[in-house]
Amino acid sequence: MKIDVVAVGKLKEKYLKEGISEYLKRLKPFVKLKITEVADEPHKDNLCAKMSAQVMEAEASRIEKHIRKSSFNNSFRCTRKNIFF
């Protein structure tokens, strides 16, 4: 099985990078896992709904460049308060 994860933004925290590295090591015998980080759209905090939607659209277009047409796409959108599947 091959799993491609495309995420917005770069991880900066060392403990998160180490945790991901550990799980990648554990999953390696079972799946081929690739993690791609795309740049997040620069923005100010507390955006209005319209500006927030524009930021998410820009980030979505970056993500779509890394998704193959033939792949199964299970995506979700996270906000600070909610997770939408």
Residue 25 has a pLDDT of 93
Six-digit token pair at 69?
A: 């047409």
Number of structural domains found in the chain: 1
- Give the C-alpha separation, 46 to 13, whole Å: 23
Residue 84 has a pLDDT of 42
Whether the CB-CB separation of 10 and 37 falls below 8 Å is answered with: yes
Residue 81 has a pLDDT of 43
What are 6's strand-pairing partners? 36
Residue 27 has a pLDDT of 92
Predicted structure pTM score: 0.63
Where residue 76 sits, what CATH number does that domain have?
A: 3.40.1280.10
Side-chain-side CA neighbours of 68 within 13 Å: the count stands at 7
Residue-wise pLDDT for 15-65, tens only, equals 999 999 999 999 999 999 888 888 887 777 777 878 778 888 888 888 888
Residue 76 has a pLDDT of 56
Give the domain extent around 37.
2-84
Alpha helices by DSSP H, listed for the chain, are 14-27, 49-64
